[in-house]
């Protein structure tokens, strides 16, 4: 599935446009269990997750990626590693890209906990930024830390930058910050492991979502939609 509304312009007084590839990490054991696993450093990848990560260099051959950022959580760094090796680039690890903390809901698998996690985090994109996850963060804190990495990526001078992060923070950030994706779309569309959302623009001029590819970048052979975890499932 894709969204295509044209590229953000860099003409006139507008700032330089940057293309961000926002890639969700590969599959983890917690994704199979369906648990709200948001701790640091968190789990590694399953065998399928390793295959998903290894498929990324080929899947992204046509992209001219100039920098790679990953969250402090192990799964994001492991997912970025094969692409970093193929491109000869370092993985820049940043705390701001970590998943939305589940707080008191951590490791829960019940439907009520998952629905509350979605309701609060997608609510931030609707303007309820002060609402706090039980025992966790509020939207001001989450978007603040994520935006600090986005600003660093923009200031790197690269036209295309890959951000390896997590399902829920990517979906709610895109719903809150792009001009053409709202909460209904973001909450209602999946983002499987190694799915990607491509956005273009700048912090000053705004962002457009160009592509929402909810299934694994490596294709159906490395996709497991039934074990994608709460951060990537439709609300």
**pLDDT at 6 exceeding the cut of 50:** no
**pLDDT at 188 exceeding the cut of 60:** yes
Give pLDDT tens digits for 82-131. 999 999 999 999 999 999 999 999 999 999 999 999 999 999 999 999 99
Mean pLDDT, the chain, integer: 93
C-alpha closest to that of 21 among 209, 176, 215: 209
CA distance to 67, 162, 195, per residue, from 59 (Å): 17, 13, 11
Q: What architecture (CATH level 2) is domain 19-218? A: 3-Layer(aba) Sandwich (3.40)
How high is the pLDDT of residue 14? 55
How high is the pLDDT of residue 9? 38
Report the distance separating Cα 38 and Cα 42, nearest Å: 7
**pLDDT at 5 exceeding the cut of 90:** no
- Give one word for 143, left, alpha or beta, with left for phi > 0 and alpha for psi -120 to 50: alpha
Give pLDDT tens digits for 206-235. 999 999 999 999 999 999 888 899 999 887
Residue 162: strand pairing partners: 21, 68
Contact by Cβ (8 Å): 133, 121: yes
Mean pLDDT of the region 77-82: 98
Contact by Cβ (8 Å): 51, 222: yes
Angle at 28 between CA 191 and CA 50, to 5 degrees: 95
In percent, how much of the chain has pLDDT > 90?
90
């Amino acid at each position: 599935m894709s969204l295509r509304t044209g590229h953000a312009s860099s003409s006139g007084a507008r700032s330089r446009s940057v293309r961000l590839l926002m890639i969700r990490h590969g599959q983890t054991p917690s994704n199979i269990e369906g648990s709200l696993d948001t701790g640091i450093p968190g789990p590694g990848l399953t065998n399928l997750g390793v295959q998903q990560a290894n498929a990324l260099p080929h899947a992204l051959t046509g992209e001219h990626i100039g920098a790679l950022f990953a969250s402090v959580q192990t799964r994001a760094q492991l997912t970025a590693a094969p692409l970093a090796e193929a491109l000869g680039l370092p993985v820049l690890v940043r705390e701001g890209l970590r998943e939305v903390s589940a707080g008191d809901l951590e490791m829960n698998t019940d439907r009520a906990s998952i629905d509350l996690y979605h309701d609060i985090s997608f609510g931030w994109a609707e303007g309820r930024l002060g609402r706090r996850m039980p025992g966790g963060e509020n939207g001001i804190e989450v978007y603040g830390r994520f935006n600090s990495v986005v600003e660093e990526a923009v200031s790197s001078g690269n036209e295309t930058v890959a951000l390896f992060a997590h399902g829920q923070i990517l979906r709610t950030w895109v719903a809150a910050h792009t001009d053409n994706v709202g909460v209904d779309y973001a909450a209602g569309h999946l983002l499987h492991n190694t799915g990607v959302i491509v956005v273009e623009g700048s912090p000053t001029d705004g962002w457009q979502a160009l592509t929402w590819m909810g299934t694994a970048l490596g294709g159906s052979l490395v996709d497991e939609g039934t074990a994608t975890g709460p951060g990537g499932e439709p609300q």
